[in-house]
Amino acid sequence: MGMDIDMPRCTGCKLCQIVCSVTNFGENNPKKAGIRIVSKLFTEARYEVIVCDQCGECIDACPFDAIGLASGVVTINQELCTNCGVCVDACPNGALFTHPAVDHPIKCVLCGECERFCPRGVLGALAASGKGEVAD
């Protein structure tokens, strides 16, 4: 599994999205991020955190063999990726994101920066034992 997520504690600040963008793209743009906070305020008084849990379904789904494990992390090979979008549709968590200025889907690379900065410890410990494990 990837990150343990404690959703009721999330306050919707989206610091995770902006730190992801700054870290992985060197840009200030929360849409260029491998994580999303979705508001469920009107119906459930809470926020939802959407991020890859490294389940690996996209690996099998990719028609171009562009997704695989790299150092235990489900990773998109940008050389092989055609941005066809099959993986985006296949992801059971909706955790692969498209961006008009990026020519491949964006996903969590387990860099850990969002976890480090989350003020509420929502994005919990990257359990050493679980890191990189691909669920069946």
Partner 1 sequence: MYGYAGNILRVDLSSGRVSHEPLTEELVHNYIGGRGFGAYYVYKEVPPGADPYGPHNILVFASGPFAGLFLPSGAKTSISAKSPATGLYGDSNVGGHLAGELKYAGIDALIVGGKAKAPSYLLIDDDRIEIRPADHLWGLGAIKTEEVLKEELGDEFQIATIGPAGENGVVFACINHDFGRQAGRCGMGAVMGSKNLKAIAVRGTRSVPVADIDGLKDVAGVMFRELMEDPSLKVWQDLGLAQVTTWANSIAALPTRNFRQNFYEAVDGLSGELMKETIVVGDKACFACPMATGKLCKASFRGKTVLVEGPEYETTALIGSNCALKSIEEVAFANYVCDELGLDTISAGNAVAFAMECFEKGIITKDDTGGIEARFGSLDAFCDLVQKIAAREGIGDLLAKGVAGAAEVWGEESRRIAIHVKGLEWSGYESRGAPSMMLAYMTCDIGAHHNRAWSVTHDIAVGRDIIKGKAAKVVEFQHVRPLFDCFGVCRLQWVELGLPLEHYAKLYPVVTGRDDSWEDLLVKSERIWNLTRAFAVREREDFGRADDWPPRRFYEESVPDGPVAGFRITAEDLDVLLDEYYEARGWDSNGRPKVDTLTRLGLEHVASELHKMGRIT
Least distance CB 110 / partner 1 (angstroms): 19
Residues that bind partner 1 (CB under 8 A): 8-9, 11-15, 18-19, 21-22, 25-32, 38-39, 41-42, 45-46, 99-101, 117, 119-120
Closest CA to 59 of 42, 40, 80: 80
Least distance CB 49 / partner 1 (angstroms): 13
Q: d(Cα 17, Cα 114) in Å, to the nearest integer?
A: 7
Least distance CB 32 / partner 1 (angstroms): 7
φ and ψ of 134, to 5 deg: -100, 120
Q: Which is nearer to partner 1, 13 or 84 (CB)?
A: 13
Contacts of 136 (CB under 8 A, 6+ apart): none
